[in-house]
Amino acid sequence: MKTRTRVSATAESHTERNTTMKRKLVGLAAAAMASTLVLAGCSPAASGGDSGNNSDKTLTMWVIGGDTPPELREYLATEFAEKTGATLKIQEQGWGDIITNLTTKLPDEKNTPDVTEIGNTQSPAFTNAGAFLDISDMYDELGGDKLLPSFVEVGAVEGKNYTLPYYFGSRYTFLRKDVWDAAGQNTSPASLDEFNESVKAITKANPKGIDNFSGFFLGGQDWRDGISWIFANGGEIAEFKDGKWVATLDSPESLKGLEQLQDLYKNASNAPNDMKDANQYQYLNDSDEVKDEDGNVTEDLSLAAATIMAPGWAHWSIGDLVTNDKGEPAREWNDDTFATLVLPGNDGKPAPVFAGGSNIGISAKTQNPELAKDLMRIIYSEEYQTMLGEKGLGPANSDYADSLGSDQFAKALIESASNSKLTPAAPGWAAIESKNIMEEFFSKIRDAKDLKQLAQDTNAQLDALLNQK
């Protein structure tokens, strides 16, 4: 019997898909909101607030992309007004602009956001630069040891807390179960080695005779997914040694992972070599056509892959194509066709995967530090943390993880996150991302004649920036 979960995913053009931010836990139906949300504070008499002196004050909070849905933004603004009497202005920033905007606005006391979301991999650069307020005195009050340790680490400097986890996501694989079955492969491989062999065998078998078919669709520049093979073999991007960060892509463990990746790129994936981790779900679905303004099909992306790896929120855009109650195209998950799989390691645990998500902190230049702290208390309250989980975002506080639910997607998210990893907590990591060094490195893996030399060349690029403040 088919068991289906209704999902909602507004159809996007091929161009839009490849420019939409990937970290959407609410569902890819929620297109990024480019507007500013301003919700006026209620007066103390109307709201029950106890701080009438705040009625003329406005606190600005930045969120990035569409991950924080409108319902949660409204809750924050309303709750903040009720508790403080002040107004909360929530402004959305784009992921492509966030580093530039934070660099220019955070140090400017007249234009700084009082509280801002920041990508977890970007946090070390800004915390080391002194951009955030020391909130160590709030650490226990906001969750303490129940907060995600790896996210806490990238927001800390010399034992002091500057940013804390906002929400987490994790990556796992999605399968076309019908294709795996047709190729005679077990849809629950017990190890990473077994997974690698299965996706290569599926590519070779190509049971549905699809042109340019991938048993495992892995973009040539998709380092955020591909890095799991390095991690799973005990390798690291960089390690902290003798007081500084040192790149280690040429270690024996890292090289073993690179060899496996090269094998997959050559024998399992026909994804474009310049493709990043952009909406891979479109290659798993049937009937995923790209049309021009006149309705003519310009590209057919239908079922180009048997397996993808993506953040858990991708499940909202995987399934049978249906029409929802509003008459809009939507996806309806079908257990007969699709399956989830937490990428297995070779040690009986899930393979380490790159953890998505964000941190959040108070600007060191805020003119309203106490109001900013009030907002942080609301964000880390049981009510808001539970709302995050109910919207599919992994709550920062592990006490509220059960708010994610108990379906297969929640279970896969929690299991994959249990062994997840972040990029090095190095002060220069934001600069590394802005220069696309990892994308360039991964794009060369498929055709590299000497993987060790490639790794050493990339190490040199990383070493020049890792410790840069």
pLDDT exceeds cutoff 50 at 338: yes
Structure tokens given for 17? 């898909």
Residue 277: pLDDT above 70? yes
Query: In the chain, what percentage of residues exceed pLDDT 70?
Result: 86
First to last CA, the chain: 57
CA atoms within 13 A on the CB side of 268: 22
- Whose tokens are 């399934």? That residue is 319
Question: Do 32 and 20 form a contact (C-beta atoms < 8 A)?
Answer: yes
What mean pLDDT comes out for the span 384-412?
A: 93
**Res. 27: pLDDT tops 70:** no
In this prediction, residue 254 has a pLDDT band, given cuts at 50, 70 and 90, of very high
Question: Which of these, 338, 218, 228, lies nearest to 267 by C-alpha position?
Answer: 218
- Most confident option among 287-291, 373-377, 391-395: 373-377
| Tokens 């690029």, located at residue | 461
Give pLDDT tens digits for 292-320.
Answer: 667 665 545 567 899 999 988 788 889 98
State the pLDDT at residue 9.
31
The residues, any chain, with a CB within 8 Å of residue 445's CB and separated by 6 or more, are 220, 226, 258, 261, 262, 265, 451, 454
Mean of pLDDT values over 79-96: 95
What's residue 292's pLDDT?
A: 62
> Looking at residue 295, what is its pLDDT?
66
User: What residue type is assigned to position 274 of the chain?
Assistant: D
In order of 100, 172, 212, 289, 301, the CA distances from 304 in angstroms are 36, 19, 7, 12, 6
Whether 232 and 348 have beta carbons less than 8 Å apart is answered as no
Rounded mean pLDDT of 141-166? Answer: 94
Which residues share a beta bridge with 342? none
User: What digits encode the pLDDT tens for the residues 170-196?
Assistant: 899 999 999 999 999 999 999 999 999
User: For residues 278 and 17, is the Cβ–Cβ distance under 8 A?
Assistant: yes
- Is residue 305 a contact partner of residue 284, using CB atoms and an 8 Å limit? yes
Burial 19-42 (b: 16+ CB within 10 A, else e): ebebbbbbbbbbebbeeebebebb
Average per-residue pLDDT for the chain = 86
Q: 348: alpha, beta or left, given left = phi > 0 and alpha = psi -120 to 50?
A: left
3-state secondary structure of 93: strand
203: DSSP letter: H
Q: What is the mean pLDDT of residues 76-83?
A: 98
Q: How confident is the model at residue 72 (pLDDT cuts 50, 70, 90)?
A: very high
Considering all CA atoms of the chain, what is the largest pairwise distance in Å, rounded to the nearest integer?
72
More confident residue, 24 or 134: 134
Query: Cβ distance 206 to 366 under 8 Å?
Result: no
- Banded pLDDT at 169 (limits 50, 70, 90): confident
| Contacts (Cβ under 8 Å, ≥6 apart) of 256 | 233, 235
Instruction: Give the residue, 453 or 15, on which the prediction is more confident.
Output: 453
Counting residues of the chain whose pLDDT is more than 90, the rounded percentage is: 67
Burial class (CB in 10 A: 0-12, 13-18, 19+), 421: middle
Residue 330, pLDDT above cutoff 70 = yes
pLDDT tier, 404 (very low <50, low <70, confident <90, very high otherwise): very high
The alpha carbon torsion through 442, 445, 450, 453 (nearest 10 deg) reads: 0
Among the listed residues 272, 277, 196, 180, the one whose alpha carbon sits nearest the alpha carbon of residue 233 = 196
| pLDDT value, residue 314 | 86
Token pair recorded at residue 397: 């506080």
Answer whether residue 1 shows pLDDT above 50.
Answer: no
Dist. CA 396–CA 121, nearest whole Å: 16
